Amino acid sequence: MYRLTVIPGDGIGPEVMEAALHILEASEIDFNYETAHAGNECFKRTGSTIPDETISTSKKSDATLFGAVTTVPGQKSGIITLRKELDLYVNLRPVKSYEGTPFLFEGLDFVIVRENTEGLYSGVEKYTDDGAEAVRVVTRGACERICKFAFEYARKNMRKKVTAVHKANVLKKTDGIFKDTFYEVAHEYNDIRSEDFYVDATAMYLITKPQNFDVMVTTNLFGDILSDEGAGLVGGLGLIPSANIGDKNGLFEPVHGSAPDIAGKGIANPSAMILSTCMMLKYLGEVEESQKLEKALTKVLRDGKVVTPDLGGVASTMEMAEQVKIIFEGL
């Protein structure tokens, strides 16, 4: 039996989490889950955005499902803290176009592998007399393990190419280390093509010829920006899942945020949360269940009859989830 931690969070987080759990109950896997807390509402109740109990519970789980949290300036980030505490050094963002959704390019299917612990997100910042400065931390160890993950992912998933994205022409030391390490790792994977582009060129290529990408690996800030650009290619953040993966733990979350403007209305698109659940199932080794769930969601999206307003329908979050569940049970 799998032991899961469920962190609903803020805004639409609890709504899309309820939808995902409703469907997951129809799966053929045995699991139980413990609900933990994080985010702004948690802060209002406990004085902490990420209590120690939440971190401890996640560490002891086989996987964690995370809804969404509201980030308030000055508060400690719950999700970044979890990434650091669980050493979730990989952020995995699939970019895939589904029939029936407002994608810009048909047939897109590539993955962005983002280093999740270093770069400008290391939290090393300070004010100066004239403003502020931040330290960009890049280590060979972190570069090596993220590049190895990208190539291993490509090999296991029958992908043919890995593209490194950097700015080594300007950031000669930090991105120079990343680029050099990438090609050192690439030598161990002669069956997979390797290439590299500058991040600004990549931003253009994502618009002009995104079909050319397969697996992309990059540093923290670049990965954060490019993955949101990728979301724009396939219909928006409501359709993009993500996985945060380390050597011992995995955390799975939609990337759409807490969306306070529609929270409580019951109209949030549950697709990204459902797809994040698919990624969790695959991480746990339940590949068949993962494929079945994605197939069920794909059919609902393609039919377009029971979908939320952002997809052109009139269904509520739970009505769409129920439709996915019915199809999932029949597969």
Percent of the chain clearing pLDDT 70 (strictly above): 100
Beta bridge partners of 194: 162
Stretch (H or E) spanning 206? helix 199-208
Residues 161 and 265 in one domain: no
* 181 contact partners, CB below 8 Å, separation of at least 6: 140, 143, 144, 147
Q: What is the pTM assigned to this prediction? A: 0.95
Q: Is the pLDDT of residue 122 over 80?
A: no
* pLDDT band for position 71 (cuts 50, 70, 90): confident
The gap between the terminal CA atoms of the chain, to the nearest Å, is: 22
Residues 256 and 216 in one domain: no
In a domain, 97, yes or no: no
Residues 129 and 200 in one domain: yes
Q: Is the pLDDT of residue 64 over 90?
A: yes
In a domain, 103, yes or no: no
* pLDDT band for position 40 (cuts 50, 70, 90): very high
In a domain, 240, yes or no: no
Last residue of a domain, one of 233, 265, 293: 233
Q: Is the pLDDT of residue 123 over 80?
A: no
Give the pLDDT confidence of 124-157 residue by residue, as tens digits: 889 999 999 999 999 999 999 999 999 999 999 9
Domain holding 170, by residue range, is 109-233
- Structural domains counted in the chain: 2
Distances (CA, A) of 99 to 16, 49, 160, 314: 21, 38, 24, 18
Active-site positions read 121, 167, 200, 224, 228
Residues 211 and 265 in one domain: no
In a domain, 98, yes or no: no
Contact assessment for residue 110 and residue 216, using Cβ atoms and an 8 Å cutoff? yes
In a domain, 13, yes or no: yes
* pLDDT band for position 326 (cuts 50, 70, 90): very high
